[in-house]
Amino acid sequence: MKYPDNMLAVAALQPDYMGFIFYDRSPRYFEGEMPKLPGIKKTGVFVKAPVNDILVKVRQHHLQAVQLHGGESAEFCRELALALSGDTFQSKVELIKVFSMLDTFDFEQLKPFEDTADYFLFDTKGKLPGGNGYTFDWRVLKNYPSKKPFFLSGGIGPEEADKVLAFLENQPDNRGTDYCYAIDVNSRFEIEPGLKNTEKLKEFKSKISCQHQ
């Protein structure tokens, strides 16, 4: 999210999270003041940012979640998680660690982050750290070895509603189904970077919510 009026329009759809990118090389880079967004977890997205820079943004914008999108180490995540657990924050700040994949993925990479991340997020590997506009092969998640809930991300657009519903069906042989916590959407719902098409979001949410009970 980038524009205050658009934020309020999207907030009216009551998403659980809204993302704000604090990476100055992104066309979605956020500057300025956020409107109040009650009931929505404001999420700061960071790419290789120092811990202190992240803490400044968390305090400035009262963020409820931090998404790390830059290949940060497990040691870095432990340092950040410890800092975020301090009593200077009014409530818990969730830590979301991003991993990028295409047709294969070594799930051993997750183990060092199990004790620090609240959630994993699986995105499509591409030229940019997010917002590449195309999906990875979700079958990779069939043998998901962790019990950590995750966000499914990466190029999900209006046309993927049926595919998302199929993924979320209770398939006993697909561990990805069991631990998929949230669906993350971004570039495929944009009019321009940072400006969301609220009608497309409303239609997508309605279809997912009505059929996935």
Q: Could you list the residue range(s) of the whole structural domain that residue 121 is in?
A: 4-211
How far apart CA 91 and CA 8 sit, in angstroms, is: 23
CA dihedral 206, 207, 209, 212 (to 10 degrees): 170
The per-residue pLDDT for 111 is 96
The per-residue pLDDT for 70 is 83
Q: Tell me how many domains the chain contains.
A: 1
Contact present, 2 and 30 (Cβ < 8 Å): yes
Kindly report, residue by residue over 7-59, the tens digit of the pLDDT.
999 999 999 999 999 999 999 999 999 999 999 999 999 999 999 999 999 99
How far apart CA 94 and CA 41 sit, in angstroms, is: 9
Q: To 5 degrees, how large is the angle CA 55–CA 76–CA 156?
A: 80
Strand 119-124 and strand 94-101: the pairing is parallel
Looking from the CA of 45 toward its CB, the CA atoms found within 13 Å total: 24
Angle of helix 74-84 versus helix 51-61 axis, rounded to 10: 40
Low-confidence residues of the chain, pLDDT below 70?
87, 89-90, 126-133, 170-173, 210-213
Task: Provide the CATH number for the domain around residue 153.
Answer: 3.20.20.70
Q: To 5 degrees, how large is the angle CA 199–CA 101–CA 147?
A: 90
The per-residue pLDDT for 79 is 95
The H-assigned helical ranges of 27-153 are 51-61, 74-84
Contact present, 165 and 208 (Cβ < 8 Å): yes
The per-residue pLDDT for 170 is 64
**CA-to-CA separations, 139 to 109, 136, 165, 182, in angstroms, rounded:** 18, 9, 14, 17
Question: How crowded is residue 161: how many other Cβ atoms within 10 Å of its Cβ?
Answer: 19
Contact present, 179 and 145 (Cβ < 8 Å): no
pTM recorded for the entire structure: 0.92
